[in-house]
Copies of this chain bind each other. A is one copy, B any other.
Amino acid sequence: MSTMTKTDVTETIVAMARAARRSALALARSTSGERRAALHTIADAVDAASPDIVVANAMDLAAADEVGITGAMRNRLELDAGGVAKLAGAIREVADQPDPLGGIEDVQVRPNGLRVGRMRIPLGVVAMIYESRPNVTADAAALCLKAGNAVVLRGGSEAIHSNRAIAEAIRRGLAASALPTESVQLIGVTDRSAIDVLLQQEEWIDLVIPRGGEGLIRAVTEKSRIPVLQHYKGVCHVVLDATAPLERAVEIVHNAKVQRPGVCNAAETLLVHEGAAERLLPAVATRLSADGVELRGCPRTREILAEFDVAPATDEDWEAEYLDLVLAVRVVSDLEAAIAHIARYGSNHTEAIVSDDDDSIDAFVSAIQSSTVVVNASTRFADGGELGLGAEIGISTSKLHAYGPMGANELTTQKFVVVGQGQVRR
Protein backbone atom coordinates (compact mmCIF):
# COMPACT_ATOMS: atom_id res chain seq x y z
CA MET A 1 0.00 0.00 0.00
CA SER A 2 2.92 2.32 0.68
CA THR A 3 3.66 2.40 -3.02
CA MET A 4 0.41 4.25 -3.76
CA THR A 5 0.94 7.64 -5.33
CA LYS A 6 -0.72 10.74 -4.01
CA THR A 7 -3.18 10.63 -6.89
CA ASP A 8 -4.02 7.00 -6.09
CA VAL A 9 -4.69 7.87 -2.46
CA THR A 10 -6.89 10.80 -3.42
CA GLU A 11 -8.87 8.75 -5.93
CA THR A 12 -9.34 5.92 -3.44
CA ILE A 13 -10.58 8.19 -0.66
CA VAL A 14 -12.88 10.23 -2.91
CA ALA A 15 -14.38 7.04 -4.34
CA MET A 16 -15.00 5.75 -0.83
CA ALA A 17 -16.61 9.00 0.29
CA ARG A 18 -18.90 9.04 -2.76
CA ALA A 19 -19.87 5.41 -2.23
CA ALA A 20 -20.63 6.25 1.40
CA ARG A 21 -22.90 9.11 0.27
CA ARG A 22 -24.76 6.79 -2.13
CA SER A 23 -25.18 4.26 0.67
CA ALA A 24 -26.40 6.99 3.02
CA LEU A 25 -29.21 7.93 0.64
CA ALA A 26 -30.38 4.32 0.65
CA LEU A 27 -29.89 3.99 4.41
CA ALA A 28 -32.05 7.05 5.00
CA ARG A 29 -34.91 5.17 3.37
CA SER A 30 -34.31 1.84 5.10
CA THR A 31 -36.81 0.68 7.69
CA SER A 32 -36.26 0.28 11.39
CA GLY A 33 -36.65 -3.49 11.01
CA GLU A 34 -34.10 -3.64 8.21
CA ARG A 35 -31.50 -1.82 10.27
CA ARG A 36 -32.13 -3.99 13.29
CA ALA A 37 -31.97 -7.22 11.27
CA ALA A 38 -28.80 -6.10 9.50
CA LEU A 39 -27.06 -5.47 12.82
CA HIS A 40 -27.94 -8.96 14.02
CA THR A 41 -26.63 -10.42 10.74
CA ILE A 42 -23.43 -8.42 11.19
CA ALA A 43 -23.04 -9.67 14.77
CA ASP A 44 -23.37 -13.25 13.49
CA ALA A 45 -20.78 -12.55 10.79
CA VAL A 46 -18.36 -11.18 13.39
CA ASP A 47 -18.88 -14.30 15.50
CA ALA A 48 -18.27 -16.49 12.45
CA ALA A 49 -15.10 -14.58 11.60
CA SER A 50 -13.72 -14.89 15.12
CA PRO A 51 -10.78 -17.16 14.20
CA ASP A 52 -9.75 -14.83 11.34
CA ILE A 53 -9.97 -11.78 13.58
CA VAL A 54 -7.88 -13.41 16.30
CA VAL A 55 -5.21 -14.40 13.75
CA ALA A 56 -5.19 -10.86 12.31
CA ASN A 57 -4.90 -9.45 15.82
CA ALA A 58 -1.90 -11.71 16.47
CA MET A 59 -0.19 -10.05 13.48
CA ASP A 60 -0.81 -6.62 15.00
CA LEU A 61 0.47 -7.82 18.37
CA ALA A 62 3.60 -9.24 16.76
CA ALA A 63 4.24 -5.92 15.04
CA ALA A 64 3.67 -4.13 18.34
CA ASP A 65 6.17 -6.41 20.06
CA GLU A 66 8.67 -5.71 17.32
CA VAL A 67 8.52 -1.95 17.91
CA GLY A 68 8.39 -2.47 21.66
CA ILE A 69 4.79 -1.49 22.52
CA THR A 70 4.03 -2.77 26.01
CA GLY A 71 1.71 -2.37 28.96
CA ALA A 72 -1.59 -0.55 28.64
CA MET A 73 -1.06 0.24 24.95
CA ARG A 74 -0.55 -3.41 24.09
CA ASN A 75 -3.49 -4.47 26.26
CA ARG A 76 -5.79 -2.10 24.41
CA LEU A 77 -4.74 -3.67 21.12
CA GLU A 78 -5.28 -7.27 22.19
CA LEU A 79 -8.39 -9.11 21.04
CA ASP A 80 -8.88 -12.79 21.88
CA ALA A 81 -11.86 -15.05 21.10
CA GLY A 82 -13.64 -13.81 24.21
CA GLY A 83 -13.06 -10.23 23.12
CA VAL A 84 -14.53 -10.93 19.68
CA ALA A 85 -17.59 -12.52 21.31
CA LYS A 86 -18.00 -9.31 23.34
CA LEU A 87 -17.79 -7.26 20.16
CA ALA A 88 -20.60 -9.26 18.63
CA GLY A 89 -22.61 -8.96 21.83
CA ALA A 90 -22.20 -5.18 21.82
CA ILE A 91 -23.47 -5.04 18.21
CA ARG A 92 -26.56 -7.05 19.23
CA GLU A 93 -27.20 -4.66 22.09
CA VAL A 94 -27.11 -1.69 19.74
CA ALA A 95 -29.41 -3.58 17.35
CA ASP A 96 -32.02 -3.96 20.07
CA GLN A 97 -31.90 -0.35 21.30
CA PRO A 98 -34.92 1.86 20.52
CA ASP A 99 -34.81 3.27 16.98
CA PRO A 100 -33.70 6.93 17.09
CA LEU A 101 -35.15 7.69 13.65
CA GLY A 102 -38.43 8.62 12.09
CA GLY A 103 -40.40 10.17 14.91
CA ILE A 104 -42.00 13.56 14.26
CA GLU A 105 -41.70 15.94 17.20
CA ASP A 106 -42.83 19.45 18.15
CA VAL A 107 -45.82 19.36 15.79
CA GLN A 108 -47.75 22.60 15.63
CA VAL A 109 -50.41 24.03 13.36
CA ARG A 110 -49.65 27.55 12.15
CA PRO A 111 -52.40 30.19 11.86
CA ASN A 112 -52.47 29.64 8.06
CA GLY A 113 -53.19 25.93 8.52
CA LEU A 114 -49.67 24.68 7.76
CA ARG A 115 -48.72 21.71 9.92
CA VAL A 116 -45.07 21.99 10.98
CA GLY A 117 -43.09 19.19 12.63
CA ARG A 118 -39.55 17.99 12.99
CA MET A 119 -38.56 14.55 11.77
CA ARG A 120 -35.47 12.81 13.07
CA ILE A 121 -33.17 11.73 10.24
CA PRO A 122 -29.62 10.38 9.94
CA LEU A 123 -26.71 12.80 9.70
CA GLY A 124 -25.70 11.04 6.47
CA VAL A 125 -22.03 10.06 6.31
CA VAL A 126 -19.82 9.95 9.40
CA ALA A 127 -16.04 9.67 9.26
CA MET A 128 -14.41 8.14 12.30
CA ILE A 129 -10.67 8.59 12.86
CA TYR A 130 -9.31 6.67 15.82
CA GLU A 131 -6.28 5.12 17.43
CA SER A 132 -5.48 1.78 18.92
CA ARG A 133 -8.47 -0.21 20.17
CA PRO A 134 -9.85 -2.34 17.31
CA ASN A 135 -13.25 -2.70 18.98
CA VAL A 136 -14.01 0.90 17.95
CA THR A 137 -14.30 -0.46 14.40
CA ALA A 138 -17.28 -2.60 15.39
CA ASP A 139 -18.83 -0.18 17.91
CA ALA A 140 -18.73 2.80 15.56
CA ALA A 141 -20.11 0.81 12.63
CA ALA A 142 -22.99 -0.49 14.74
CA LEU A 143 -23.96 2.91 16.18
CA CYS A 144 -23.74 4.63 12.81
CA LEU A 145 -25.91 1.98 11.11
CA LYS A 146 -28.42 2.04 13.96
CA ALA A 147 -28.86 5.77 13.30
CA GLY A 148 -29.06 5.23 9.52
CA ASN A 149 -25.62 6.64 8.73
CA ALA A 150 -22.94 5.37 6.41
CA VAL A 151 -19.48 5.43 7.99
CA VAL A 152 -15.93 5.69 6.73
CA LEU A 153 -13.50 4.29 9.30
CA ARG A 154 -9.83 5.13 9.65
CA GLY A 155 -8.19 3.25 12.47
CA GLY A 156 -4.59 3.44 13.58
CA SER A 157 -1.89 1.60 11.61
CA GLU A 158 -0.99 -0.38 14.76
CA ALA A 159 -4.37 -2.18 14.54
CA ILE A 160 -4.66 -2.36 10.76
CA HIS A 161 -4.87 -6.17 10.46
CA SER A 162 -7.47 -6.47 13.23
CA ASN A 163 -9.49 -3.59 11.80
CA ARG A 164 -9.42 -5.07 8.29
CA ALA A 165 -10.60 -8.45 9.57
CA ILE A 166 -13.44 -6.88 11.58
CA ALA A 167 -14.48 -4.63 8.69
CA GLU A 168 -14.43 -7.61 6.33
CA ALA A 169 -16.81 -9.47 8.66
CA ILE A 170 -19.08 -6.42 8.86
CA ARG A 171 -19.20 -6.22 5.07
CA ARG A 172 -20.09 -9.89 4.81
CA GLY A 173 -22.92 -9.23 7.21
CA LEU A 174 -24.06 -6.18 5.24
CA ALA A 175 -23.92 -8.15 1.98
CA ALA A 176 -26.40 -10.62 3.50
CA SER A 177 -28.69 -7.77 4.67
CA ALA A 178 -31.08 -5.29 3.08
CA LEU A 179 -28.60 -2.43 3.62
CA PRO A 180 -25.94 -1.34 1.09
CA THR A 181 -22.65 -3.22 1.49
CA GLU A 182 -20.74 0.04 1.21
CA SER A 183 -22.50 1.49 4.25
CA VAL A 184 -19.37 0.65 6.25
CA GLN A 185 -15.96 1.20 4.69
CA LEU A 186 -12.54 0.94 6.25
CA ILE A 187 -9.68 2.96 4.80
CA GLY A 188 -7.02 0.31 4.25
CA VAL A 189 -4.40 2.83 3.14
CA THR A 190 -2.08 3.52 6.07
CA ASP A 191 -0.55 6.53 4.30
CA ARG A 192 -1.20 9.57 6.51
CA SER A 193 -2.14 11.70 3.51
CA ALA A 194 -5.35 9.64 3.40
CA ILE A 195 -6.60 11.57 6.44
CA ASP A 196 -5.84 14.92 4.80
CA VAL A 197 -7.81 13.94 1.71
CA LEU A 198 -10.66 12.53 3.81
CA LEU A 199 -11.00 15.79 5.75
CA GLN A 200 -11.56 17.72 2.52
CA GLN A 201 -14.56 15.66 1.38
CA GLU A 202 -17.11 18.08 2.80
CA GLU A 203 -19.33 17.44 -0.19
CA TRP A 204 -19.82 13.80 0.78
CA ILE A 205 -19.15 13.62 4.53
CA ASP A 206 -21.30 15.30 7.18
CA LEU A 207 -19.34 14.77 10.38
CA VAL A 208 -15.89 13.75 11.53
CA ILE A 209 -15.37 12.15 14.93
CA PRO A 210 -11.75 11.88 16.01
CA ARG A 211 -11.15 9.57 18.96
CA GLY A 212 -7.72 9.41 20.52
CA GLY A 213 -5.10 11.69 22.01
CA GLU A 214 -5.29 15.45 22.10
CA GLY A 215 -2.74 15.70 19.27
CA LEU A 216 -4.95 13.70 16.91
CA ILE A 217 -8.01 15.77 17.76
CA ARG A 218 -6.22 19.11 17.32
CA ALA A 219 -4.74 18.01 13.99
CA VAL A 220 -8.13 16.86 12.70
CA THR A 221 -9.85 20.06 13.87
CA GLU A 222 -7.29 22.28 12.18
CA LYS A 223 -7.33 20.45 8.86
CA SER A 224 -10.99 19.58 8.52
CA ARG A 225 -13.46 21.37 6.27
CA ILE A 226 -16.09 19.01 7.68
CA PRO A 227 -17.65 19.72 11.08
CA VAL A 228 -15.71 17.92 13.83
CA LEU A 229 -17.07 16.59 17.10
CA GLN A 230 -14.37 17.32 19.62
CA HIS A 231 -13.49 15.54 22.77
CA TYR A 232 -10.28 17.10 23.95
CA LYS A 233 -9.68 15.97 27.49
CA GLY A 234 -11.27 15.41 30.83
CA VAL A 235 -9.97 17.56 33.66
CA CYS A 236 -12.80 16.53 35.97
CA HIS A 237 -13.32 18.09 39.39
CA VAL A 238 -14.87 16.87 42.61
CA VAL A 239 -16.04 19.66 44.91
CA LEU A 240 -16.55 18.98 48.60
CA ASP A 241 -18.98 21.58 49.90
CA ALA A 242 -19.07 22.77 53.51
CA THR A 243 -21.89 20.33 54.30
CA ALA A 244 -20.40 17.26 52.57
CA PRO A 245 -20.87 14.18 54.80
CA LEU A 246 -17.52 12.55 55.57
CA GLU A 247 -18.12 9.00 54.42
CA ARG A 248 -19.87 10.02 51.18
CA ALA A 249 -17.10 12.50 50.41
CA VAL A 250 -14.38 9.92 50.93
CA GLU A 251 -16.10 7.24 48.86
CA ILE A 252 -16.91 9.53 45.93
CA VAL A 253 -13.44 11.10 45.75
CA HIS A 254 -11.82 7.68 46.01
CA ASN A 255 -14.03 6.18 43.31
CA ALA A 256 -13.64 9.15 40.98
CA LYS A 257 -9.85 8.99 41.23
CA VAL A 258 -8.98 5.35 41.75
CA GLN A 259 -11.58 3.08 40.15
CA ARG A 260 -10.12 3.60 36.66
CA PRO A 261 -7.61 6.44 36.66
CA GLY A 262 -6.68 6.16 32.97
CA VAL A 263 -10.03 7.34 31.56
CA CYS A 264 -11.36 10.79 30.79
CA ASN A 265 -14.11 10.82 33.44
CA ALA A 266 -11.72 10.13 36.30
CA ALA A 267 -11.24 13.06 38.70
CA GLU A 268 -8.04 15.07 38.37
CA THR A 269 -8.64 17.90 40.85
CA LEU A 270 -10.30 17.99 44.26
CA LEU A 271 -11.67 21.32 45.51
CA VAL A 272 -12.55 21.53 49.20
CA HIS A 273 -14.57 24.25 50.92
CA GLU A 274 -12.46 25.95 53.61
CA GLY A 275 -15.24 25.33 56.11
CA ALA A 276 -14.92 21.56 55.66
CA ALA A 277 -11.27 21.13 54.78
CA GLU A 278 -9.96 20.22 58.25
CA ARG A 279 -12.88 17.87 58.81
CA LEU A 280 -12.66 16.05 55.46
CA LEU A 281 -9.16 16.20 54.02
CA PRO A 282 -7.33 13.86 56.46
CA ALA A 283 -9.82 11.03 55.88
CA VAL A 284 -9.78 11.59 52.11
CA ALA A 285 -5.98 11.60 52.07
CA THR A 286 -5.80 8.46 54.19
CA ARG A 287 -8.10 6.56 51.84
CA LEU A 288 -6.30 7.76 48.70
CA SER A 289 -2.83 7.14 50.11
CA ALA A 290 -3.77 3.56 50.91
CA ASP A 291 -4.19 3.08 47.15
CA GLY A 292 -0.96 4.86 46.31
CA VAL A 293 -2.47 8.12 45.05
CA GLU A 294 0.07 10.96 44.88
CA LEU A 295 -1.32 14.28 46.15
CA ARG A 296 -0.29 17.75 44.98
CA GLY A 297 -1.80 20.51 47.03
CA CYS A 298 -2.19 24.23 47.55
CA PRO A 299 -0.45 25.70 50.64
CA ARG A 300 -3.54 25.30 52.83
CA THR A 301 -3.92 21.66 51.78
CA ARG A 302 -0.27 20.99 52.62
CA GLU A 303 -0.79 22.64 55.99
CA ILE A 304 -3.80 20.51 56.87
CA LEU A 305 -2.17 17.38 55.48
CA ALA A 306 1.22 18.07 57.04
CA GLU A 307 1.49 14.43 58.05
CA PHE A 308 1.08 13.30 54.47
CA ASP A 309 3.60 13.66 51.68
CA VAL A 310 1.83 16.35 49.66
CA ALA A 311 3.90 18.04 46.93
CA PRO A 312 3.15 21.70 46.15
CA ALA A 313 0.71 22.13 43.27
CA THR A 314 1.59 24.54 40.46
CA ASP A 315 -0.63 26.12 37.79
CA GLU A 316 0.25 23.18 35.57
CA ASP A 317 -1.35 20.84 38.08
CA TRP A 318 -4.67 22.67 37.91
CA GLU A 319 -4.63 22.15 34.15
CA ALA A 320 -3.37 18.58 34.16
CA GLU A 321 -5.19 15.51 32.90
CA TYR A 322 -3.00 13.04 34.78
CA LEU A 323 -4.80 9.87 33.69
CA ASP A 324 -2.88 8.33 36.56
CA LEU A 325 -2.92 7.94 40.37
CA VAL A 326 -2.22 11.64 40.96
CA LEU A 327 -4.69 14.17 42.37
CA ALA A 328 -4.39 17.96 42.64
CA VAL A 329 -6.04 19.32 45.80
CA ARG A 330 -7.04 22.91 46.53
CA VAL A 331 -8.83 24.44 49.49
CA VAL A 332 -11.17 27.21 48.28
CA SER A 333 -12.73 29.98 50.33
CA ASP A 334 -16.27 29.11 49.30
CA LEU A 335 -18.42 27.49 46.62
CA GLU A 336 -18.09 30.51 44.31
CA ALA A 337 -14.31 30.12 44.39
CA ALA A 338 -14.72 26.47 43.40
CA ILE A 339 -17.01 27.47 40.52
CA ALA A 340 -14.50 30.11 39.39
CA HIS A 341 -11.65 27.57 39.55
CA ILE A 342 -13.61 25.16 37.33
CA ALA A 343 -14.50 27.94 34.87
CA ARG A 344 -10.82 28.76 34.57
CA TYR A 345 -9.21 25.31 34.53
CA GLY A 346 -12.00 22.90 33.61
CA SER A 347 -12.36 21.12 30.28
CA ASN A 348 -16.18 21.05 30.00
CA HIS A 349 -16.24 17.33 30.72
CA THR A 350 -17.64 16.40 34.16
CA GLU A 351 -17.72 18.02 37.60
CA ALA A 352 -19.24 16.60 40.76
CA ILE A 353 -20.33 18.18 44.02
CA VAL A 354 -20.75 16.42 47.35
CA SER A 355 -23.15 18.44 49.47
CA ASP A 356 -26.19 18.22 51.70
CA ASP A 357 -27.22 21.83 51.12
CA ASP A 358 -29.90 22.39 48.47
CA ASP A 359 -28.92 26.01 47.80
CA SER A 360 -25.30 25.03 47.18
CA ILE A 361 -26.39 22.18 44.92
CA ASP A 362 -28.70 24.46 42.93
CA ALA A 363 -25.99 27.11 42.56
CA PHE A 364 -23.48 24.50 41.41
CA VAL A 365 -25.85 22.89 38.87
CA SER A 366 -26.80 26.30 37.51
CA ALA A 367 -23.27 27.73 37.32
CA ILE A 368 -21.31 24.79 35.98
CA GLN A 369 -21.44 24.73 32.18
CA SER A 370 -19.66 21.41 31.76
CA SER A 371 -21.30 18.66 29.72
CA THR A 372 -22.09 16.56 32.78
CA VAL A 373 -22.83 17.93 36.24
CA VAL A 374 -23.01 15.31 38.96
CA VAL A 375 -24.55 15.74 42.40
CA ASN A 376 -23.52 13.35 45.18
CA ALA A 377 -22.14 10.65 42.91
CA SER A 378 -18.86 9.78 41.20
CA THR A 379 -17.65 11.53 38.02
CA ARG A 380 -17.13 8.02 36.62
CA PHE A 381 -20.83 7.89 35.71
CA ALA A 382 -20.27 10.29 32.79
CA ASP A 383 -20.53 7.51 30.23
CA GLY A 384 -23.16 6.69 27.63
CA GLY A 385 -23.90 3.27 29.06
CA GLU A 386 -24.17 4.52 32.65
CA LEU A 387 -26.42 7.45 31.65
CA GLY A 388 -28.79 5.21 29.71
CA LEU A 389 -27.81 6.11 26.12
CA GLY A 390 -26.73 2.58 25.32
CA ALA A 391 -23.35 2.31 23.62
CA GLU A 392 -21.33 5.49 23.21
CA ILE A 393 -19.48 6.76 20.16
CA GLY A 394 -17.60 9.44 22.09
CA ILE A 395 -17.98 12.27 24.56
CA SER A 396 -18.31 15.76 23.15
CA THR A 397 -16.77 18.59 25.14
CA SER A 398 -17.74 21.25 22.62
CA LYS A 399 -21.28 22.51 22.91
CA LEU A 400 -22.33 22.27 19.30
CA HIS A 401 -24.68 19.47 18.22
CA ALA A 402 -24.07 17.15 21.14
CA TYR A 403 -22.57 17.83 24.54
CA GLY A 404 -21.40 15.02 26.75
CA PRO A 405 -21.73 11.28 26.05
CA MET A 406 -23.06 10.56 22.55
CA GLY A 407 -25.18 7.56 21.63
CA ALA A 408 -27.04 6.66 18.44
CA ASN A 409 -29.48 9.54 18.99
CA GLU A 410 -26.63 12.04 18.77
CA LEU A 411 -25.79 10.68 15.29
CA THR A 412 -29.08 12.05 13.97
CA THR A 413 -30.48 15.47 13.18
CA GLN A 414 -33.96 16.88 12.57
CA LYS A 415 -35.47 18.20 9.37
CA PHE A 416 -38.59 20.34 9.22
CA VAL A 417 -41.59 18.71 7.59
CA VAL A 418 -44.25 21.20 6.52
CA VAL A 419 -47.61 19.96 5.23
CA GLY A 420 -50.07 22.32 3.57
CA GLN A 421 -53.13 22.30 1.38
CA GLY A 422 -51.88 24.72 -1.25
CA GLN A 423 -50.66 27.59 0.97
CA VAL A 424 -48.56 30.32 -0.60
CA ARG A 425 -46.84 33.22 1.10
CA ARG A 426 -48.35 36.71 0.88
Contact = CB atoms under 8 A, between A and B. Distances in A.
A119 interface: yes
A424 interface: yes
Interface stretch (A63-71, A190-198, A248-256, A290-298): A248-256
Contact of A382 (B122, B123, B416): B416
A343 B367 CA distance: 44
B418 A369 contact: no
A425 B381 contact: yes
Contacts of A255: 424-425
A124 interface: yes
B388 A110 contact: yes
Contacts of A254: 424
Interface stretch (A133-141, A180-188, A316-324, A397-405): A397-405
Nearest to A417: B373
Contacts of A378: 423-425
Interface string A219-260: 001100101110000000000000000001001101110010
Interface string A118-134: 01011110000000000
A63 to B, nearest CB: 34
A36 B426 CA distance: 31
A215 B225 CA distance: 15
Copies in the complex: 2
Interface string A10-54: 000000000000000100110000000000000000000000000
A413 interface: yes
Grouping DSSP codes into helix (H, G, I), strand (E, B) and loop, the A interface class, with mixed when no group exceeds half, is mixed
B381 A114 contact: yes
Nearest to A373: B417
Interface residues of A, number: 69
A397 to B, nearest CB: 11
B403 A415 contact: yes
A360 interface: no
Nearest to A252: B424
Given A251-B424, A399-B206, A418-B373, A225 B222 contact: yes
Contacts of A108: 388
A116 interface: yes
Given A400-B401, A415-B369, A376 B207 contact: no
A165 interface: no
A386 B227 contact: no
Nearest to A421: B376
Contacts of A221: 225
A424 B372 contact: no
A417 B29 contact: no
A206 B397 CA distance: 11
A29, A370, A423: residue with the most chain B Cβ atoms closer than 10 Å: A423
A365 B118 CA distance: 11
A371 B116 CA distance: 13
A351 B222 CA distance: 33
Nearest to A365: B417
Contacts of A5: none
A374 interface: yes
A420 interface: yes
Contacts of A371: 415-416
A306 interface: no
18 contacts: A25-B343, A25-B369, A119-B373, A121-B369, A207-B400, A254-B424, A371-B416, A373-B415, A373-B418, A376-B419, A377-B421, A378-B423, A382-B418, A387-B418, A399-B413, A401-B401, A403-B415, A405-B416
